[in-house]
Every structure is written in structure tokens, then in C-alpha cells.
Amino acid sequence: MSPAQQTADVDAVITDETRAWIGRSSELMPLPEEVAASDVRRYVEATGDHNPLWLDDEVARSAGYRGRVVPPMLVIDLVWRLKHTDAGRMTDRVPLPANYIDTRNVETDMEWLEPVYIGDRISIRHRIRDIVARPGRRGLGVYISRETEYVRADGRLMARVVQTVARFPRAAVGT
């Protein structure tokens, strides 16, 4: 494929409307419930991660925390509480051709800034950082990088996650 054809293909997939999403942010969206002890219990049961920091207030206090700490990976998973809202699945709303429905996680970077405790109220904000197209075995993939900030009710930033997903055209049946 010639460089001119590759550019034409990219421009057909990543339109000006799509490019306009770069830098777009959601509002700060509060999760519908506070982080509960039952959330931590289900996480521990599902993962087998019996870290005493998650389970024992005395152990957590002796380690310098104010109480039991919510497992960081559970905090990141709480974003799913917003999956049915318009802003909750922001990368799914980036305008691409209708056949670009096959989504894959490419990379996730997490930065932990503050512990999260049982009873904390958390809000999140998404921002589209970049949208690029790259050719590959599956055809032209669109790579969308989204930054998500996790903010405590007092306004303190607790975590930042940058996730890149790739969206590809639907695979042909039998492929």
C-alpha cells in the first residue's frame, strides 16, 4: 500500500469529528455509592488476596494508615459502576466507522497517589489524551488513550490511570 493510500485510509477512519475528541473531558462524576466493606469482602473472596491491610483495622493502623485500605485494583474496578452512563464509557463513544467494534486493551499505566479507605466517596473524570491509527494484521487499528482520575470527596487526587485501547474493524466470519 502506498503512503498516499495509507493517509487516505487514516483520514477515512479518523475524521475531523474524531480528532475533535482529543482533549475532551467528562465532568467529575461521583460513583453512586461509597466504597463499602462488602466491596472489599467480595474482592478478597474473588481474588484470594487476604492482605491484612484490607482486612484488619489494627494491622492497617500499625502500618500508618487510618484504617483498612481498599485494594488498589478494586478502586480501579469501581469505574464500572458508571458503565451505563454517557461519560462512563467515553472511549466507546469516540466516533469511528460502524464496523470498528472489536476493542482490545493495549496498555494500562496506574499511578497511586493516596490510599482509599472504606467509606470514601469517589468521583472520576475521563479525558481523551490521544487518538492515532496504525496498520497491523487486523487492518487499520485506532488507538485511543484515555486518562482517568480518581478523586476523593475532599477533592484530593487518589489515583490516575492511563489506558490505551485499540479498536479494529469487525473480523470477517471464519477468520
Instruction: Specify the pTM.
Output: 0.84
Domain edges within the chain: 3-34+70-168
According to the model, what pLDDT value does residue 87 have? Answer: 60
* Residues 91, 129 contacting (CB under 8 angstroms): no
pLDDT in tens, the chain (175 residues): 444 444 558 888 999 999 999 999 999 999 989 999 999 999 999 999 999 999 999 999 999 999 999 999 999 888 887 777 766 678 888 999 999 999 999 999 999 999 999 999 999 999 999 999 998 888 899 999 999 999 999 999 999 999 999 999 987 655 5
Rounded-to-10 torsion of CA 37, 38, 41, 47: -120
d(CA 113, CA 27): 21
Residue 10 is predicted with a pLDDT of: 83
Where does 3-34+70-168 sit in CATH, by number? 3.10.129.10
**Amino acid (1-letter code) at residue 75:** V
